[in-house]
Chain A
Amino acid sequence: MADDTLINTLAGIVRSGAPLILAATGETFTERAGVVNLSLDGSLMLAGLAGFVIAFNTQSLILGTAAAIVVGATIALIVAASSIELKQSQVAVGFILTLLCRDLAIFLGTSYRGKAGLPAPHLDIPLLRDIPIAGPILFQQDVFTYLSFAVIIFAWFWIYRTRPGLILRSVGERPPTTFARGGNVNRLRYLYTALGGALVGLAGATYTLNIAPGWNDSAIIGNGWIALAIVIFGGWYPVRVAFGVYLVAGLRTLASGLQANGIPIALLNAIPWLLMIVTLLAVSGPYLDRLLKILPSRLHPLVRTLLRARPPAALGTIFEQEGQK
């Protein structure tokens, strides 16, 4: 029985990590292309609301999910266009969009509060479901969770194993090189920002259609910022990002266990944020270099890959092609 509890807990962690995986991987694509979409906390909410409203009114999960994806991609495109076409700061636009989308979701969602959501789809994968331990954790899940697995694998494969992925890695680092090698920097930035936003939208739908079907803004708020921080913690590597997500999801599960033991909920709710500060300190602060100094040099590449977070060099900058008016 103890084993079953553990397996259920792990399956729960994997399930609750799905939206963060989708959002953080989406943002990883966007930032790899050199664009910061800071609006995640708001776009998750607005996309989640759109997903729920459409699904509720059409009774179709697929239409709802599609609506959420469209909303997420549209918001992301606003960030990209105001940077590329209007030369406005991505941080400023992203931050304002965070507030705007959040407020818009709260305003438009007032009449949908407390409405019953659609039943979340559950889908076991034949054969794989019967693998001991891994089966119940990974393969007796729902479509959104499977999508989160697929997105991790796709992101890793795309970025590290394909030609367009190689181009993507250059866009965020040194756009003039991309241009010289035949890549259209701004078109690529639009493309990956939209892709990232679409995944954020899908993440929003995961909250309102799957994790806790229904519209409840307070269940989403804050997660956008966590996803953004996980991108940094993950050092812009998709697999490390996924690891960060499951770490956070695991700690949250642990914290809700502690709540049962009488520790004030407010203090427990502060833990993820404390953790965010500590991990950001660990990956970007001077402490990593001090750690490297005491470790044998054989371990350096490993520790760097696991811990160092070096942002794409051209992140947040505007690219102007020479001679192109």
Chain B
Amino acid sequence: MRVELDQITKIFGKLRANNAISMTLEGGRIYAILGENGAGKSTLMKILSGYQPPDSGRILLDGTPVSFSTPADALNFGIGMLHQDPLDVPSLTVLENFMLGEPGGLLPRRKAARETLIAFAERFGFTLRPDAYVDGLTIGERQQLEIVRLLSRGAQVLILDEPTTGISADQKAALFGSLQRLAHTGGLTVILVSHKLEDVEVLCDEVVVLRQGQVVGQVMMPYPTDQLVTLMFGKALDRTPRQPFERQAQTKVLHVKALTVPDSRVALVDISLEVEAGEVIGMAGLDGSGQNAFLRACAGLQFGTAGEIRLADTDVTRWNYHDRAQLGVAYAPAGRLEEGLVTGLTLTEHVALTSPAGRRVNWKTATQETKARIAHYSIRGQPDSQIETLSGGNQQRTLLSLLPSTLKLLLLENPTRGLDVESARWVWQQLLERRATGTAILFTSPDLDEIVEYSDRIIVFFGGKARMLNDPSQTSLTELGQMIGGK
């Protein structure tokens, strides 16, 4: 199906999220929409998939102007969207999710739906058990379910938002294979929204680059990578080479011995690890493979049933989170407004809350301290700004600014979640500065690129078991992708 966007404009307050965007996407081809955070790609896709109406402009499908007010409406016109976190209902089964929203009478036709589900899944080589509960599925499997559902509902245009985050190399290969078949032999229009250039290069036929709400280029693939980057950012980005880590053998910060942690999904079994001061260890793994459980166990947020955790010379196996914090352990969660910062509290209140002050709060010194941190961490905000009014990048900066200045061990869950490339680099620059003071860093990330780039050592988690890679430079992304998938 040919999709034409004609002068699409969407304004939020003063921000022109989409400024007269026009493009034509033909059936049978795979497109990528590239752009940094805030470039307007998600707004545009929300308009195309029926979540938001444009302020002005038209959408034409095969030459006919259409308008729709809900995503369900858009799907009736043949436009289906696969979200990064697939929009399903975890407490329902695969079959129930497949049937949910299907038009029909009062009583669903379970048998027919089951047959359709199995038939579609087989056609793409997906293995979906109709009676399995979705909350036990991996992100990759949930994506497969959504794709099957959208196609069975007659989707002619498939929009995929960051579909390769958190899936294994195998699942990625299967996904790309089926997308290519859908487009090149099935005639579908496939639109990939991503910031991962290597995915775009492997999969797409054509790339549309957005910057500041406008189309700045539509190019055929293959196309030189550095020129794509220049298009996205308006300038070339250079990578600062990073200092290799020097082992100092004497200063062990963390020592985990034969740790076993029960978890709702996979139990961690018999994990051992020694971490030295200043070392950065990246933890790779599919969602729920045990890496986050391990991180939380190190922080004292979750307890093991066997094994031992020592910080320097202290056995902290039974210590809780707050007690371990006293020894210089800090943990920064991925969900910033959910479990990192307090909505409704100002920056100063956050600083006062985390300052080990006396019983009374001295608001004057707290405000001064806040100003100092705003300057040091270049946070765009005022001492009395409420935290939720800050952008995601500035919230992450605030979170980092709240960490104690001297730390032995810093545990980070997906430290650059939702950040664009520039903010992410800034965050890592801050983190790596901490190494100089002997802080060891353990972090998880669904972004294998990030893990390979910043880690001195990598631990790969699969099904609750850990595998240590001592020299990341010897590992390619593809190998790592296969390892997180259990190979």
Chain A: residues with CB nearer than 8 A to chain B? Answer: 161-164, 166-167, 169-170, 173-174, 176-183, 310, 313, 322-323
Contact = CB atoms under 8 A, between A and B. Distances in A.
A149 to B, nearest CB: 21
B352 to A, nearest CB: 27
Given A170-B89, A181-B100, A322 B52 contact: yes
Contacts of A181: 72, 100-101
Of B53, B100, B105, most buried by chain A (CB within 10 Å of CB) is: B100
A181 B72 CA distance: 5
Given A163-B107, A322-B46, A177 B89 contact: yes
30 contacts: A163-B99, A163-B104, A163-B106, A163-B107, A163-B108, A164-B106, A166-B99, A166-B100, A166-B108, A167-B100, A167-B101, A169-B89, A169-B92, A169-B96, A173-B90, A173-B92, A174-B88, A174-B90, A178-B101, A179-B70, A180-B71, A180-B72, A180-B87, A181-B101, A182-B71, A182-B75, A182-B101, A183-B72, A313-B91, A322-B46
A323 B51 contact: yes
Contacts, number: 68
Nearest to B103: A182
A170 B72 CA distance: 15
Contact of A182 (B70, B87, B91, B99): B70
Given A162-B108, A170-B92, A323 B100 contact: no
Given A174-B90, A181-B100, A181-B101, A322 B51 contact: yes
Max chain A CB contacts within 10 Å: which of B52, B72, B96, B99? B72
Contacts of A174: 87-90
A301 to B, nearest CB: 11
A191 to B, nearest CB: 15
Contacts of A177: 87-89, 100
Interface range on chain B (Cβ under 8 Å from partner): 20 to 34
Nearest to A163: B108
A241 to B, nearest CB: 17
A162 B105 CA distance: 9
A178 B100 CA distance: 8
B451 to A, nearest CB: 30
B454 to A, nearest CB: 33
Contacts of A170: 89, 92, 100
Contacts of B51: 322-323
A173 B91 CA distance: 8
Contacts of A313: 90-91
Nearest to A183: B101
A131 to B, nearest CB: 30
Given A173-B89, A173-B90, A323-B46, A163 B105 contact: yes
A231 to B, nearest CB: 17
A183 B96 CA distance: 15
> Which 8 A-B residue pairs are closest in the complex by CB-CB distance?
A181-B101, A182-B72, A323-B52, A180-B71, A170-B89, A177-B87, A180-B87, A173-B89
Contacts of B92: 166, 169-170, 173
A243 B51 CA distance: 42
B53 A161 contact: no
B91 A162 contact: no
Nearest to B104: A163
Nearest to B262: A293
Contacts of A182: 70-73, 75, 101
Interface in B346-376: none
Given A161-B107, A163-B104, A166-B100, A323 B90 contact: no
Contacts of A179: 70-71
A167 B99 CA distance: 10
A183 B70 CA distance: 10
A125 B174 CA distance: 61
A169 B87 contact: no
B374 to A, nearest CB: 31
Contacts of B89: 169-170, 173-174, 177
Contacts of A176: 87
A321 to B, nearest CB: 8
A50 to B, nearest CB: 32
A136 B360 CA distance: 71
B19 to A, nearest CB: 18
A187 to B, nearest CB: 12
Contacts of B90: 173-174, 313
B250 to A, nearest CB: 41
Given A163-B102, A163-B108, 17 more contacts: A161-B107, A162-B108, A163-B107, A166-B96, A166-B99, A169-B92, A170-B92, A173-B89, A174-B88, A176-B87, A177-B87, A178-B101, A180-B72, A180-B101, A182-B75, A322-B51, A323-B46
A180 B149 CA distance: 13
Contacts of B71: 179-180, 182
Contacts of B88: 174, 177
Nearest to B73: A182
A180 B89 CA distance: 11
Nearest to A160: B96
Interface in B27-81: 46, 51-53, 70-73, 75, 81
